[in-house]
Amino acid sequence: MDTFKNDLIKVEKRDDRIAVVTLNNPPMNLNSIASMRELADDFRILRRDDEVRVVILTAAGTKAFNVGTDLHEMADMNGYYKEKKFYGEMRMMDNIEFLPKPTICAIEGFCMGGGLELAMCCDFRIASDTARFAQPEITLGLYPGAGGLYRLPRIVGMGKALEMMYTGYQIDAQEALRYRLVNHVVPSGKTLEKALEIAQRIAGFSPIAIRTIKEGSRKMWQKESKDNYYTNLEYIEPVFESDNAQEGMKAFLEKREANFK
């Protein structure tokens, strides 16, 4: 297992195919300029690492996954540095969302503000039964400025998203599950275990097919249905003519495990 660690972010490679990225600033794992820069650098490395097929994003400790911006740091910034921070944070989150590999977020404890915005950049989320979620920016006279304004309605629906953003109220893990903000709820301390279980299954499939599912789903989500017909056709040929597709169909007919490259 390879490991590389900065001051605030730790990355471990499990069996080469799975990378676990850990926010390493407990107990609250706040977003700072330094941690966001390190996270961006690590995801750039993982993007170029052809061995890594799935990335899991989690955090140290069980009190909080992430509760957003370090307000002490932001309060001392002038306008130029605040703009630089917001731009860098949004660009980093876009890089995570559009990473051409599946991403899973494993959440323990509080996941709020910029922390929830960060979690929503991942393809799906696994929460502990003690997790709590909120977009509390309104209580500071602010709004979810790192992507929550458009990612939250897309995931939970406009009505629930507006309620959360208007009121700043917290929701628990079971309510988050009902509104599809998370995919699974597991006992506290077990989120990474569940994420690794799912990641190992995903990592065993054809990388080109997985990459196409991710890219195509996100691209077509933002288009009108009539345009998706043609977008879908663009993906068919390179996937079905790939060696992995041939291997998958052959293995099925031969009643054996496929060996995807």
- Give the catalytic positions in this structure: 117, 137
Q: How far apart are the first and last CA of the chain?
A: 20
Tell me the sheet residues that pair with 31.
69
Region label for 20, one of left (φ > 0), alpha (ψ between -120 and 50) or beta (otherwise): beta
Per the CB < 8 A criterion, the answer to whether 33 and 73 are in contact is: yes
Q: What is the largest CA-CA distance in the chain?
A: 65
Backbone angles phi, psi at 75, to 5 degrees: -65, -25
Residues 6+ apart with CB under 8 A from 55: 18, 19, 20, 21, 43, 46, 99, 101, 102, 103, 104
The edge-to-edge listing of strands for the beta sheet with 64-66 is 64-66, 110-112, 132-134, 171-172
Q: Determine the Cα–Cα distance for residues 137 and 154; give it in Å rounded to an integer.
A: 19
